[in-house]
Protein backbone atom coordinates (compact mmCIF):
# COMPACT_ATOMS: atom_id res chain seq x y z
CA UNK A 1 0.00 0.00 0.00
CA UNK A 2 1.37 3.39 -0.94
CA UNK A 3 2.39 5.72 1.86
CA UNK A 4 0.56 9.06 1.73
CA UNK A 5 3.80 10.83 2.56
CA UNK A 6 5.32 9.37 -0.59
CA UNK A 7 2.31 10.37 -2.68
CA UNK A 8 1.95 13.89 -1.32
CA UNK A 9 5.54 14.68 -0.45
CA UNK A 10 6.13 16.07 -3.92
CA UNK A 11 4.16 19.16 -2.94
CA UNK A 12 7.02 20.37 -0.75
CA UNK A 13 9.92 18.60 -2.45
CA UNK A 14 12.76 20.93 -3.47
CA UNK A 15 10.86 24.15 -2.74
CA UNK A 16 12.91 27.31 -2.44
CA UNK A 17 10.93 28.83 0.45
CA UNK A 18 7.94 28.28 2.72
CA UNK A 19 5.23 30.90 3.24
CA UNK A 20 3.21 30.53 6.44
CA UNK A 21 -0.08 32.42 6.42
CA UNK A 22 -0.99 33.63 9.92
CA UNK A 23 0.70 30.79 11.82
CA UNK A 24 0.42 30.25 15.55
CA UNK A 25 3.56 30.71 17.64
CA UNK A 26 3.99 26.96 18.14
CA UNK A 27 3.49 26.21 14.46
CA UNK A 28 6.00 28.88 13.45
CA UNK A 29 8.54 27.68 16.02
CA UNK A 30 8.30 24.15 14.58
CA UNK A 31 9.93 25.48 11.39
CA UNK A 32 13.04 26.69 13.21
CA UNK A 33 15.28 24.00 11.71
CA UNK A 34 13.86 24.04 8.18
CA UNK A 35 16.67 24.49 5.66
CA UNK A 36 14.79 26.91 3.37
CA UNK A 37 13.68 30.48 4.14
CA UNK A 38 10.43 30.81 6.06
CA UNK A 39 8.26 33.86 5.35
CA UNK A 40 5.30 34.77 7.56
CA UNK A 41 2.36 36.47 5.82
CA UNK A 42 -0.31 37.85 8.15
CA UNK A 43 -2.15 40.95 9.30
CA UNK A 44 0.33 41.35 12.20
CA UNK A 45 3.75 39.91 12.99
CA UNK A 46 2.61 38.23 16.20
CA UNK A 47 5.35 35.59 15.97
CA UNK A 48 8.24 38.10 15.59
CA UNK A 49 9.33 36.61 12.28
CA UNK A 50 12.45 38.06 10.66
CA UNK A 51 10.85 37.72 7.21
CA UNK A 52 7.35 39.19 7.43
CA UNK A 53 4.86 40.41 4.82
CA UNK A 54 1.81 42.35 5.96
CA UNK A 55 -1.42 41.08 4.46
CA UNK A 56 -3.39 44.31 4.10
CA UNK A 57 -6.84 42.77 4.59
CA UNK A 58 -8.58 39.44 5.04
CA UNK A 59 -9.03 37.33 1.93
CA UNK A 60 -11.58 34.50 2.29
CA UNK A 61 -10.63 33.28 -1.19
CA UNK A 62 -7.48 31.18 -0.87
CA UNK A 63 -6.16 32.06 -4.32
CA UNK A 64 -6.47 35.78 -3.62
CA UNK A 65 -4.81 35.33 -0.22
CA UNK A 66 -1.85 33.54 -1.75
CA UNK A 67 -1.62 35.93 -4.69
CA UNK A 68 -1.47 39.01 -2.47
CA UNK A 69 0.93 37.39 -0.05
CA UNK A 70 3.37 36.27 -2.72
CA UNK A 71 3.25 39.61 -4.50
CA UNK A 72 4.09 41.27 -1.19
CA UNK A 73 7.01 38.86 -0.70
CA UNK A 74 8.21 39.68 -4.21
CA UNK A 75 7.88 43.42 -3.52
CA UNK A 76 9.86 43.10 -0.28
CA UNK A 77 12.63 41.07 -1.89
CA UNK A 78 12.01 37.85 0.05
CA UNK A 79 11.30 35.95 -3.18
CA UNK A 80 12.13 36.17 -6.83
CA UNK A 81 9.83 35.09 -9.64
CA UNK A 82 11.87 32.00 -10.51
CA UNK A 83 11.36 30.32 -7.15
CA UNK A 84 8.92 27.60 -6.16
CA UNK A 85 7.16 28.14 -2.85
CA UNK A 86 5.17 25.96 -0.46
CA UNK A 87 2.29 28.05 0.90
CA UNK A 88 0.72 26.80 4.14
CA UNK A 89 -2.59 28.44 5.00
CA UNK A 90 -5.99 27.99 6.63
CA UNK A 91 -9.12 26.97 4.73
CA UNK A 92 -11.47 25.20 7.14
CA UNK A 93 -10.58 25.55 10.83
CA UNK A 94 -8.60 27.82 13.14
CA UNK A 95 -5.19 26.42 12.26
CA UNK A 96 -3.17 25.90 9.10
CA UNK A 97 -4.62 22.91 7.27
CA UNK A 98 -3.70 23.32 3.60
CA UNK A 99 -0.45 23.41 1.63
CA UNK A 100 -0.14 24.57 -1.99
CA UNK A 101 2.89 24.39 -4.26
CA UNK A 102 3.16 27.62 -6.24
CA UNK A 103 5.50 29.11 -8.80
CA UNK A 104 6.17 32.61 -7.49
CA UNK A 105 6.39 33.89 -11.06
CA UNK A 106 2.71 33.05 -11.55
CA UNK A 107 1.97 35.99 -9.28
CA UNK A 108 4.48 38.43 -10.73
CA UNK A 109 4.29 41.99 -9.47
CA UNK A 110 1.17 43.66 -10.86
CA UNK A 111 1.00 46.61 -8.47
CA UNK A 112 -2.08 45.31 -6.67
CA UNK A 113 -0.19 44.68 -3.42
CA UNK A 114 1.34 48.16 -3.43
CA UNK A 115 -2.08 49.68 -4.07
CA UNK A 116 -3.58 48.04 -0.99
CA UNK A 117 -0.65 48.03 1.42
CA UNK A 118 0.69 51.54 0.88
CA UNK A 119 -2.49 53.59 0.56
CA UNK A 120 -3.77 56.04 3.14
CA UNK A 121 -7.36 54.82 2.74
CA UNK A 122 -8.71 51.73 4.47
CA UNK A 123 -7.67 48.72 2.34
CA UNK A 124 -11.25 47.44 2.46
CA UNK A 125 -12.40 50.68 0.85
CA UNK A 126 -9.77 50.31 -1.88
CA UNK A 127 -11.03 46.78 -2.51
CA UNK A 128 -14.68 47.85 -2.66
CA UNK A 129 -13.95 50.63 -5.18
CA UNK A 130 -11.70 48.32 -7.15
CA UNK A 131 -14.48 45.74 -7.40
CA UNK A 132 -16.94 48.37 -8.71
CA UNK A 133 -14.45 49.36 -11.42
CA UNK A 134 -13.78 45.71 -12.30
CA UNK A 135 -17.49 44.92 -12.63
CA UNK A 136 -18.09 48.02 -14.73
CA UNK A 137 -15.21 47.00 -16.96
CA UNK A 138 -16.70 43.55 -17.45
CA UNK A 139 -20.31 44.51 -18.01
CA UNK A 140 -20.29 48.18 -18.91
CA UNK A 141 -23.42 50.20 -18.22
CA UNK A 142 -26.56 48.99 -20.00
CA UNK A 143 -24.45 47.11 -22.50
CA UNK A 144 -22.16 50.02 -23.37
CA UNK A 145 -18.54 50.59 -22.46
CA UNK A 146 -18.08 53.34 -19.90
CA UNK A 147 -15.20 55.17 -18.30
CA UNK A 148 -14.99 56.04 -14.63
CA UNK A 149 -12.63 57.78 -12.24
CA UNK A 150 -12.63 57.12 -8.49
CA UNK A 151 -10.45 59.26 -6.21
CA UNK A 152 -10.02 57.47 -2.88
CA UNK A 153 -8.66 59.08 0.29
CA UNK A 154 -7.54 62.57 1.36
CA UNK A 155 -10.99 63.80 0.34
CA UNK A 156 -10.62 67.29 1.83
CA UNK A 157 -7.61 68.16 -0.33
CA UNK A 158 -9.20 66.53 -3.35
CA UNK A 159 -12.34 68.62 -2.96
CA UNK A 160 -10.19 71.75 -2.66
CA UNK A 161 -8.48 70.93 -5.95
CA UNK A 162 -11.65 70.21 -7.89
CA UNK A 163 -14.94 71.84 -8.76
CA UNK A 164 -18.48 70.56 -9.31
CA UNK A 165 -19.75 69.84 -12.79
CA UNK A 166 -23.31 69.35 -11.61
CA UNK A 167 -25.43 68.85 -8.51
CA UNK A 168 -23.75 66.48 -6.06
CA UNK A 169 -26.22 63.63 -5.37
CA UNK A 170 -24.22 62.57 -2.29
CA UNK A 171 -23.98 66.02 -0.67
CA UNK A 172 -26.21 65.33 2.32
CA UNK A 173 -25.97 61.57 2.37
CA UNK A 174 -23.89 59.28 4.55
CA UNK A 175 -23.59 56.29 2.24
CA UNK A 176 -20.47 54.18 1.85
CA UNK A 177 -18.97 52.23 -1.00
CA UNK A 178 -19.40 48.49 -0.59
CA UNK A 179 -23.13 48.68 0.11
CA UNK A 180 -24.79 46.82 -2.82
CA UNK A 181 -27.37 49.57 -3.32
CA UNK A 182 -24.68 52.27 -3.28
CA UNK A 183 -22.61 50.30 -5.80
CA UNK A 184 -25.59 50.26 -8.16
CA UNK A 185 -25.83 54.05 -7.78
CA UNK A 186 -22.12 54.45 -8.57
CA UNK A 187 -22.50 52.39 -11.71
CA UNK A 188 -25.50 54.44 -12.80
CA UNK A 189 -23.76 57.78 -12.20
CA UNK A 190 -20.66 56.57 -14.05
CA UNK A 191 -22.42 57.37 -17.32
CA UNK A 192 -21.93 61.07 -16.64
CA UNK A 193 -18.76 63.14 -16.60
CA UNK A 194 -16.60 63.83 -13.58
CA UNK A 195 -14.86 61.94 -10.82
CA UNK A 196 -16.20 60.26 -7.72
CA UNK A 197 -14.53 61.34 -4.48
CA UNK A 198 -14.42 58.73 -1.71
CA UNK A 199 -13.12 59.34 1.83
CA UNK A 200 -10.51 57.21 3.63
CA UNK A 201 -13.32 55.41 5.43
CA UNK A 202 -15.39 54.78 2.28
CA UNK A 203 -17.97 57.57 2.49
CA UNK A 204 -19.05 58.82 -0.93
CA UNK A 205 -18.22 62.52 -0.67
CA UNK A 206 -19.14 63.60 -4.17
CA UNK A 207 -19.79 62.69 -7.77
CA UNK A 208 -19.35 64.85 -10.88
CA UNK A 209 -16.10 66.51 -9.76
CA UNK A 210 -13.79 68.15 -12.26
CA UNK A 211 -10.25 67.67 -11.00
CA UNK A 212 -7.94 70.68 -11.32
CA UNK A 213 -4.44 69.57 -10.32
CA UNK A 214 -1.39 71.02 -12.00
CA UNK A 215 -0.25 68.96 -14.98
CA UNK A 216 3.35 70.13 -14.54
CA UNK A 217 5.68 67.19 -14.04
CA UNK A 218 2.97 64.63 -14.74
CA UNK A 219 3.98 61.86 -17.12
CA UNK A 220 1.62 59.11 -18.25
CA UNK A 221 2.00 56.45 -20.94
CA UNK A 222 1.17 57.48 -24.49
CA UNK A 223 -2.40 56.82 -25.53
CA UNK A 224 -3.96 57.66 -22.19
CA UNK A 225 -6.24 60.66 -22.11
CA UNK A 226 -7.46 63.45 -19.87
CA UNK A 227 -9.08 61.18 -17.30
CA UNK A 228 -5.75 59.42 -16.67
CA UNK A 229 -3.83 62.70 -16.68
CA UNK A 230 -6.17 64.07 -14.02
CA UNK A 231 -5.71 60.88 -11.96
CA UNK A 232 -1.93 61.15 -12.12
CA UNK A 233 -2.04 64.85 -11.24
CA UNK A 234 -4.38 64.63 -8.26
CA UNK A 235 -2.44 61.72 -6.73
CA UNK A 236 0.80 63.66 -7.10
CA UNK A 237 -0.59 66.64 -5.20
CA UNK A 238 -2.59 64.75 -2.54
CA UNK A 239 -2.38 61.47 -0.62
CA UNK A 240 -5.25 59.98 -2.58
CA UNK A 241 -5.12 57.03 -4.95
CA UNK A 242 -7.09 56.90 -8.18
CA UNK A 243 -8.74 53.92 -9.80
CA UNK A 244 -9.59 54.57 -13.43
CA UNK A 245 -11.69 52.55 -15.86
CA UNK A 246 -10.83 53.45 -19.44
CA UNK A 247 -13.75 53.83 -21.81
CA UNK A 248 -11.58 53.15 -24.86
CA UNK A 249 -9.93 49.87 -23.87
CA UNK A 250 -11.89 48.85 -20.71
CA UNK A 251 -8.67 48.41 -18.73
CA UNK A 252 -8.54 49.32 -15.04
CA UNK A 253 -5.55 51.39 -13.98
CA UNK A 254 -4.49 52.74 -10.61
CA UNK A 255 -2.39 55.82 -9.86
CA UNK A 256 -0.51 56.65 -6.69
CA UNK A 257 1.99 59.43 -6.05
CA UNK A 258 1.53 60.70 -9.60
CA UNK A 259 2.53 57.38 -11.16
CA UNK A 260 0.75 54.51 -12.85
CA UNK A 261 1.19 51.54 -10.50
CA UNK A 262 -1.31 49.02 -11.85
CA UNK A 263 -2.91 48.07 -15.14
CA UNK A 264 -5.14 45.06 -15.65
CA UNK A 265 -7.88 43.60 -17.81
CA UNK A 266 -11.12 43.13 -15.84
CA UNK A 267 -11.93 40.02 -17.88
CA UNK A 268 -8.70 38.39 -16.70
CA UNK A 269 -9.03 39.38 -13.05
In the chain, which segments carry CATH 3.40.1380.20?
4-108
Return d(Cα 65, Cα 53) in angstroms, integer: 12
CA 44 to chain centre: 18
Q: Is the pLDDT of residue 62 over 50?
A: yes
Q: What is the pLDDT of residues 170-191, one digit of tens each?
A: 988 889 998 988 888 888 888 7
Separation in Å, CA 156 to CA 11, 78, 192, 197, 204: 51, 37, 23, 10, 12
pLDDT band per the 50, 70, 90 thresholds, residue 10: confident
Give the CATH superfamily of 114-268: DNA integrity scanning protein, DisA, N-terminal domain (3.40.1700.10)
Q: What is the pLDDT of residue 105?
A: 82
Q: Is the pLDDT of residue 1 over 60?
A: no
Q: What is the pLDDT of residue 108?
A: 63
Q: CA angle at residue 62 from 61 to 68, to 5 degrees?
A: 95
Residue 5: its H or E element: helix 4-8
Q: What is the pLDDT of residue 250?
A: 84
pTM for this predicted structure: 0.78
Return d(Cα 156, Cα 194) in angstroms, integer: 17
pLDDT band per the 50, 70, 90 thresholds, residue 266: confident
In the chain, which segments carry CATH 3.40.1700.10?
114-268
Q: What is the DSSP string of 151-208?
A: EES-HHHHHHTEEESS--TTTT---BTT-HHHHHHHHHHTTSSSEEEE-TT-BEEEEE
Residues 221-245, mean pLDDT to the nearest whole number:
90
Return d(Cα 196, Cα 194) in angstroms, integer: 7
Residues 69-84, mean pLDDT to the nearest whole number:
91
Architecture of 4-108 per CATH?
3-Layer(aba) Sandwich (3.40)
Q: Is the pLDDT of residue 197 over 70?
A: yes
Region class of 241: left (phi > 0), else alpha (psi between -120 and 50), else beta? beta
Amino acid sequence: MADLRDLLGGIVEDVDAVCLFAPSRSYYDSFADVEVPVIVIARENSVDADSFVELPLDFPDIRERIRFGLEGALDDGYLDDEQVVACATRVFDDGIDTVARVDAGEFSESGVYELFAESRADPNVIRDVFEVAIELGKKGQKGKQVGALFVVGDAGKVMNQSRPLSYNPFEKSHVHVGDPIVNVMLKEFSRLDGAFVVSDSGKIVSAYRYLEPSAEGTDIPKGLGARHMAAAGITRETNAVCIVLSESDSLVRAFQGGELILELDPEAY
